[in-house]
């Protein structure tokens, strides 16, 4: 089911840029130096550079077109930012409604190529349902931070080390509200909620491979939406990959089943040195 995204595109893009910047800018100094993190605000969005990213995921530019138009000059500045900071690759993410009419020419001029497509979803928190699970689900606190971070990285196939310290750092940011799912005393599921200026984002949902299919992520969606409602957020947003034709994305299925609705599809635009 689709809903009109016209008035939601801005907050949907801005909150994603906000939590991505918060993760990277909140990284402890030693880990940030090891990863080569640089964050820069320009053109109403944020350019995140991680020179020594072991995953290829964390160097991205997003949040553009909301308060200032996307222009050829802006894209040139983004590309130059990544060149200056030694990145070999970065992803530029801009909502389709915020792209200029000459975007194809701009992309060609700066050597951008179309990559994977993401689905952006949203709902009012009270529209998001709950899901039963035999696991215990609730807030994750500082005592869980390392296990929580290691679970998230392991579930996404990302290495431990300085990225672990980056995720642990989010526990000190009042904008983040981390949650977990436990089988007895063992943490087996994780998810984060980020709230800024009354807008909420579901992000960083992960389940240990041995415990998938037991309802952890659906339950974590429900409790995070309830927290967003408690905090007075009128909207909650999230994103995940659009599956290839003939395949499915379980995360997307869970989101839709719990009441989050498709807003729009957004292409990744990849820059390679």
**Nearest residue to 183 (alpha-carbon basis) of 210, 165, 155, 156:** 210
pLDDT at 4 over 60: no
Are 266 and 94 spatial neighbours (Cβ–Cβ below 8 Å)? yes
What's the whole-model pTM score?
0.96
CA atoms within 13 A on the CB side of 206: 19
Q: Is the pLDDT of residue 143 over 80?
A: yes
Q: What is the mean pLDDT of residues 161-172?
A: 98
* DSSP code per residue over 68-113: S---HHHHHHHHHHHHHTT-SEEEEE--GGGS-TTHHHHHHHTTEE
- Supply 165's token pair: 């310290």
Pairing state between β 199-207 and 235-241: parallel
Taking the C-alpha atoms of residue 100 and residue 186, their distance in angstroms, rounded to an integer, is 49
Q: What separation, in Å, do the N-terminal and C-terminal C-alpha atoms of the chain show?
A: 39
- The whole-angstrom separation of Cα 190 and Cα 184 is 15
Q: Taking residues 148-174, what's their average pLDDT?
A: 98
pLDDT tens digit sequence for 53-93: 999 999 999 999 999 999 999 999 999 999 999 999 999 99
Q: Do residues 128 and 230 touch, judged by C-beta distance below 8 A?
A: no
- Asked whether residue 2 carries a pLDDT value surpassing 60, the answer given is no
Average pLDDT (231-245) is 97
Question: Mean pLDDT for the chain?
Answer: 96
Q: Is the confidence at residue 1, as pLDDT, over 50? A: no
Q: For residue 190, is pLDDT > 90?
A: yes
- Nearest Cα to Cα of residue 150 among 168, 176, 170, 169: 168
Report the C-alpha gap between 31 and 256 in whole angstroms. Answer: 36
What pLDDT score does 5 carry? 61
What share of the chain in percent tops pLDDT 70? 98
Average pLDDT over residues 13-28: 98
Whether the predicted pLDDT of 30 surpasses 80: yes
Please tell me what DSSP assigns to residue 155: H
d(CA 176, CA 224): 11
Cβ atoms of residues 95 and 44 within 8 Å = no
65: left (phi over 0), alpha (psi -120 to 50) or beta: left
Domains of the chain, start order? 9-119 (no CATH), 125-265 (3.40.630.30)
C-alpha to C-alpha distances, 235 to 8, 184, 227, 250, nearest whole angstrom: 9, 33, 12, 23
pLDDT digits (tens, 9 = 90+) for 196-226: 999 999 999 999 999 999 999 999 999 999 9
């Amino acid at each position: 089911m689709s809903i009109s995204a016209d008035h939601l595109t801005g907050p949907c893009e801005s909150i994603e840029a906000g939590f991505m910047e918060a993760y990277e800018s909140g990284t402890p100094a030693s880990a940030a130096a090891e990863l080569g993190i640089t964050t820069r605000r320009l053109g109403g969005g944020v350019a995140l550079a991680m020179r020594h990213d072991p995953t290829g995921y964390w160097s991205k530019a997003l949040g553009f077109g909301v308060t200032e138009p996307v222009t050829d000059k802006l894209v040139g500045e983004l590309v130059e930012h990544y060149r200056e900071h030694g990145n070999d690759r970065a992803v530029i993410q801009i909502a389709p409604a915020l792209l200029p009419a000459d975007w194809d020419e701009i992309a060609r001029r700066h050597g951008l190529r179309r990559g994977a497509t993401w689905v952006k979803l949203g709902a009012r928190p009270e529209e998001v349902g709950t899901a039963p699970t035999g696991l215990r689900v609730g807030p994750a606190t500082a005592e869980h931070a390392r296990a929580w971070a290691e679970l998230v990285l392991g579930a996404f196939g990302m290495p431990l080390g300085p990225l672990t310290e980056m995720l642990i750092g989010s526990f000190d940011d009042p904008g983040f509200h981390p949650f977990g799912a436990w089988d007895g005393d063992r943490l087996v599921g994780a998810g984060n909620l980020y709230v800024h200026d009354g807008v909420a984002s579901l992000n960083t949902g992960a389940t240990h491979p041995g415990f998938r299919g037991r309802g952890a992520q659906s339950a974590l969606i429900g409790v995070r939406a309830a927290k967003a409602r408690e905090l007075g957020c009128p909207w909650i947003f999230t994103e995940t990959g659009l599956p290839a034709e003939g395949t499915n994305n379980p995360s997307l299925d869970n989101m839709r089943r719990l009441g989050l609705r498709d807003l729009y599809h957004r292409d990744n635009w990849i820059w390679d040195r």
